[in-house]
Amino acid sequence: MDYAIELRFQKLKKKLEEQFEMGMDVQSILFLIGVDELGHGHKNFSKNEKQDLMHIAICTLLEPYGYYSFEGRDKEDWPHFKLEKELPHLTHLEQQHLLKEAMLDYFVKTGYEFESVESL
């Protein structure tokens, strides 16, 4: 495990928890990224839409690693991705680490300030 990534992720998580005034985990952060990438703002999403939003987030996060490529948006303006290469077999911990690292990159790329959080 890369403790530097985990420490940075905990700082990000804390900042998001303060901003949204609720507990956050990898799944809830995926949901936030999906909503952000959809670009329709906050609304009540169905269970299927929530799953689709998390899929959008995963594709967006793994796109820089070459696993997905953006294809475009459908008539309802939902983004779609193409699988470019299969993910290697990863343990649950390895999957979580990859997602956390990709989330950190995403929030840095979007200009979200979280690195200055002093205490955990």
Structural domain contains residue 18: no
CA distance 66 to 29: 21
Structural domain contains residue 111: no
Structural domain contains residue 5: no
| CA 104 and chain centroid, separation | 9
Structural domain contains residue 95: yes
Q: What is the pLDDT along the chain (120 residues), one digit of tens a residue?
A: 688 999 999 999 999 999 999 999 999 999 999 999 999 888 899 999 999 999 999 999 999 999 999 999 999 999 999 999 999 999 999 999 999 999 999 999 998 887 765 544
The structure tokens 């193409």 sit at 82
Q: Which domain holds residue 75?
A: 24-103
Structural domain contains residue 66: yes
Structural domain contains residue 3: no
CA distance 70 to 101: 20
Q: Count of alpha carbons within 13 Å of 96, Cβ hemisphere only?
A: 12
User: What is the three-class DSSP state of 117?
Assistant: coil
Structural domain contains residue 35: yes
Residues contacting residue 89 through CB under 8 Å, at least 6 positions apart: none
The structure tokens 């779609």 sit at 80
CB 8 within 8 A of CB 104: yes
CA distance 49 to 92: 24
Structural domain contains residue 19: no
Number of domains in the chain: 1
pTM: 0.89
